[in-house]
Copies of this chain bind each other. A is one copy, B any other.
Amino acid sequence: MPFEYRLKRRVQFYETDMAGIVHFSWFFRYLEEAEHAMWREAGLSIADGSGIGWPRVEASFEFHRPLRFGDEFDVHLRIVGKDARTIRYEGIVSKDGARVATGKIAVKCVSTKPGEPMKSIDIPAAIDALLQVAPGD
């Protein structure tokens, strides 16, 4: 039962801005990449066509150091909280062992039907059983 994931990634050219560093909006995408890779490893998909979605209800980052074009970095994602309808993740972005940024995301389980508003629902038992809070959190 997965509770963490370690993503290795390299900064792409189009992720940089004219300041010569990765634009901060990309870090939220890096975290999401790690989240989806963790789900895939658990045999799950964040978008499996079953009418369930996982919109973000909170997302935050603290930035300590910049990343630059070509940099190799790690995202260490952990599930740090879970209740009936919400999963909370924390992700630490680091480069050569030094912390670059720390992010948090909370996602909610919703049912989605075309033409109807999304509606908050309980996390299905089959998914809930496969994702657990990281020990120590």
A interface with B by C-beta (< 8 Å): 12-14, 16-21, 23-26, 28-29, 32-33, 36, 40, 45-47, 49, 53, 55-63, 66, 68-70, 112, 114-115, 118
Q: A12-B29, A66-B118, A114-B49 are in contact. Are A59 and B24 (CB under 8 A)?
A: yes
Q: How many copies does the complex hold?
A: 4
Q: A40-B70, A56-B63, A61-B58 are in contact. Are A18 and B13 (CB under 8 A)?
A: yes
B14 and A29 within 8 A (CB): yes
- The distance in angstroms between the C-alpha atoms of A13 and B16, with both chains bound, is 11
21 CB < 8 A contacts A-B: A13-B17, A13-B18, A13-B23, A13-B36, A13-B46, A14-B25, A17-B18, A18-B18, A18-B69, A19-B47, A19-B112, A24-B55, A24-B56, A25-B26, A28-B28, A47-B69, A55-B63, A58-B61, A58-B63, A59-B61, A114-B114
